[in-house]
Amino acid sequence: MTLPAALAAEAPRAAAMLDRLGAIGADPPGITRHAFDERENAAHTLAVERAQHLGLEIARDAACNLYLTWPGTDRAAPRVLLGSHFDSVRHGGNYDGAAGVVAALAAVSALRATGFRPRADITIAAFRCEEAVWFGLGLVGSRAALGILPPDALDRRRADTGLTLADHIARCGGDPAAIAPGRRLLPNGPIRCFLEAHIEQAPSLIEAGLPLAVATGIPGNIRHAAIRITGEDAHVGLPRRFRRDAALAGAEIFAALDALWAEEEAAGRAMAFTIGRFHTDVTRHEITVVAGEFTFSIDLRAYDAAHLAALDRRFRDILDATAARRGVTIDPGPRSAAPVGPCDPALQASLAAAAARMGIATMPLGSPASHDAANFAAAGIPTGLLLIRNAHGSHNPREAMDAADMMAAAATFAEWLRAEAAA
């Protein structure tokens, strides 16, 4: 069977798997697959069922990451690792993360149908808890796999259950005691490269009319989940000069960050910031009370480590200046960070060439979002990322990836493996 014919035969199976994942996560108006909980477990079980049908080796690590391996003829050769994640944000869409695992499985299935035999092991990974919404820390599974999970991570509590990350890992059959900084959990042996496919989180490919992009890099980020501003509660008639208004301090910080973004954009330096939480204390705020407390979150991201560090300094300067000007105190709270992930130039070129051989048009594009791939790139493992066209962004119920575009990613991976991993 030719590779195009095998991919065509695989397409309905891949679409059906996406439908089953949607049913697992159904949570109107969107999809919720909780990290380290029944729905993420069910998604992993579905992947295992497909792997068993394909005759793949199945393994899990201490953090409950799943590895599905097609054995190569030379088990000592550096393996090719592909993968993504199954967890979602609350009331998100069906494709963020999941499309990457399904595309990798489709690529392997199609290659097997052609009679192809890989020289090195090809392993598909489904990493746990990529989304930061669950424990205030993103990319948890891949960080644990690479031995770079922060020491305090296992004590973080999931907001909806109150249980720690260690508790949830143990409940899913993992071994939190075996997770430690510097201790890798990945399958034994060297890794040639890591490849990931993920829906795009901006409308760039919709705008360009293309199904795929080959990512040039993944931004690093700095996050504070709960920055607390403390001023002083007061009567609404209090003159401005006497106020220590925490809400106005928050608004001033927001405006200053927006001005910073405009300045950086004008200078051609790509970045983004997002304030997702922005509120007074709902148990105390009143229409006739000046807010003495205010809380907000921030995600600050850029594509260059030095640029990200400079932006972090500018952000802290904004906090200090606002605190002094408004007469408030600002506690930034816990800080988390994800590394900048430069995509390997040779992989960018070979993935684009593989897509072209399959008749798939691509474009180079920086990823607007963080992904598990960033951890592998930061660890020095050559990394490639395909971005799949997706309407309406992600982290919302309106994700609208076409299954044919996901199969374009699968075709690109299959052709790349055919050319680069032959026995």
Binding site as annotated, residues: 85, 96, 131, 198, 395
Q: For the chain, how far is it from start to end, CA to CA, in angstroms?
A: 18
CA–CA gap between residue 362 and residue 385 (Å, rounded):
12
CA–CA gap between residue 400 and residue 199 (Å, rounded):
9
CA–CA gap between residue 175 and residue 341 (Å, rounded):
28
Q: What are phi and psi of 53, to 5 degrees?
A: -60, -35
The CA–CA distances, whole Å, from 29 to 26, 91, 175, 398, 405 equal: 8, 6, 34, 9, 24
Residue indicated by tokens 């489709």: 106
- Annotated binding-site members for Zn(2+): 85, 96, 131, 198, 395
Which has the closest alpha carbon to 21: 33, 12, 13?
A: 33
Tokens describing residue 278: 């922005």
Are residues 156 and 137 in contact, defined by beta-carbon separation less than 8 angstroms?
yes
Cβ neighbours for 184, distance < 8 A, ≥ 6 positions apart: 145, 146, 147
Tokens describing residue 344: 């390997």
Residue indicated by tokens 């680069």: 420
Which has the closest alpha carbon to 392: 384, 400, 403?
A: 400
Tokens describing residue 395: 């982290």
Tokens describing residue 367: 């990823």
Q: Which helix (H) or strand (E) holds 204?
A: helix 204-208
Q: Which helix (H) or strand (E) holds 57?
A: strand 57-60
Which has the closest alpha carbon to 341: 307, 385, 398?
A: 385
Cβ neighbours for 332, distance < 8 A, ≥ 6 positions apart: 224, 227, 316, 319
CA–CA gap between residue 311 and residue 302 (Å, rounded):
8
CA–CA gap between residue 148 and residue 163 (Å, rounded):
22
